[in-house]
């Protein structure tokens, strides 16, 4: 009987994913769901043939250099791979895959939730109700920012960005976007393309980030760029926390340049930024953009599909190295 590859699953994934993985692989599962340090990853590597990690496990140059030669594939349970040094892993002959496509709808849903919640002052309203403080009403009470008819700027018109654009059109928004390459006209669906981020910012009543975190995009939303937005703009980030200079965002909120923001990701994760907690015009979630049962199953199965292809001698569908 052929021995099954040994697969380390670094986090507690969906029940369906773990059941399928246990059927097809000799699995080591982190049922306690704790974070793993670089030393943990390096120490485990001589014991396994494959690793199925999440974004929380870091495979930087230092870790990649120390992985045991037994490890042949890292099948990520994530779309973003900024936690992996692809060059360093490729140099070790390690295949890296991700899980695109399957979380676009869920992430775009969260982006819409954050945009609406920030625009309509949901944090403040929720606090009033939960503390029993609602004792007043007038036409000037809890007035927010209208979404319908407003201009939405999208940075990064990939899979999630395109779904976000469709959601926004349903709310009657005028969609504008920046992307490294202009989309074919049938993909644009009437959205207006801008050749530079700066050109997009000046028309964005609402701005939503949907681009990857790379050395070029790290800190892209800085003081200068926040200043280009229309006064009272609403800012949304469901992509990566590293895209935003968080001090610059706070300054924009303090000045009123940005009237509200919705965030699902932060520079420091888990934990976020403690300075954000005093701002009732910050609607925040703990990086749960893809956290639906259907999406978690789909992500896990996509990662396992990539592993299955590799061990059948084929190039995984989502191979990055």
Catalytic residues: 240, 269, 287
State residue 52 phi and psi, 5-degree precision.
-115, 90
Distance CA 52, CA 281 (A): 37
Residue 279 burial (CB count, 10 A): 16
- Dihedral (CA of 76, 39, 241, 83) sign: negative
Distance CA 264, CA 241 (A): 8
End-to-end CA distance of the chain: 31
Residues 6 or more apart from 18 whose CB is under 8 A from it?
9, 12, 27, 29, 300
Q: In what order do the strands lie in the sheet with 6-9?
A: 26-29, 6-9, 50-52, 73-75, 95-97
> Quick one: which of 171, 179, 188, 162 has its CA closest to 105?
162
Distance CA 212, CA 266 (A): 14
Instruction: Give the CA-trace dihedral at 264, 266, 271, 274, to 10 degrees.
Output: -100
Asked if 33 and 12 count as a contact pair (C-beta separation under 8 A), the reply is yes
């Amino acid at each position: 009987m052929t021995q099954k590859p040994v697969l380390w699953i670094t986090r507690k994934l969906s029940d369906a994913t773990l059941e399928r993985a246990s059927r097809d692989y000799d699995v080591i599962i982190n049922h306690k769901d704790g974070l793993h340090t670089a030393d943990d990853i390096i120490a485990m590597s001589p014991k396994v043939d494959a690793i199925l990690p999440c974004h929380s496990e870091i495979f930087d140059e230092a870790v990649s250099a120390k992985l045991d030669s037994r490890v042949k594939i890292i099948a990520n349970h994530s779309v973003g791979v900024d936690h992996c040094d692809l060059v360093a892993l490729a140099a070790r002959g390690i295949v890296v895959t991700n899980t695109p496509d399957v979380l676009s709808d869920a992430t775009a849903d969260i982006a819409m939730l954050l945009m609406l919640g920030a625009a309509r002052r949901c944090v403040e309203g929720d606090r009033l109700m939960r503390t029993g403080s609602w004792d007043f009403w007038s036409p000037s009470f809890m007035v927010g920012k209208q979404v319908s008819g407003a201009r939405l700027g999208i940075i990064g018109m990939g899979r999630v960005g395109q779904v976000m654009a469709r959601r926004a059109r349903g709310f009657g928004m005028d969609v504008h976007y920046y992307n490294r390459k202009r989309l074919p006209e049938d993909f644009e669906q009437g959205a207006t393309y801008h050749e530079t981020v700066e050109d997009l910012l000046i028309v964005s009543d609402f701005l939503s980030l949907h681009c990857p975190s790379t050395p070029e995009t790290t800190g892209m939303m800085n003081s200068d760029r926040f200043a280009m937005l229309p006064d009272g703009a609403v800012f949304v980030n469901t992509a990566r926390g590293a895209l935003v200079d968080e001090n610059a965002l706070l300054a924009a909120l303090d000045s009123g340049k940005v009237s509200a923001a919705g965030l699902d990701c932060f520079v420091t994760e888990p934990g976020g930024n403690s300075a954000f907690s005093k701002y009732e015009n910050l609607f925040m979630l703990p990086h749960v953009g893809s956290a639906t049962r259907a999406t978690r199953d789909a992500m896990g199965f996509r990662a396992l599909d990539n592993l299955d292809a590799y061990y059948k001698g084929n190039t995984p569908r989502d191979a990055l190295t």
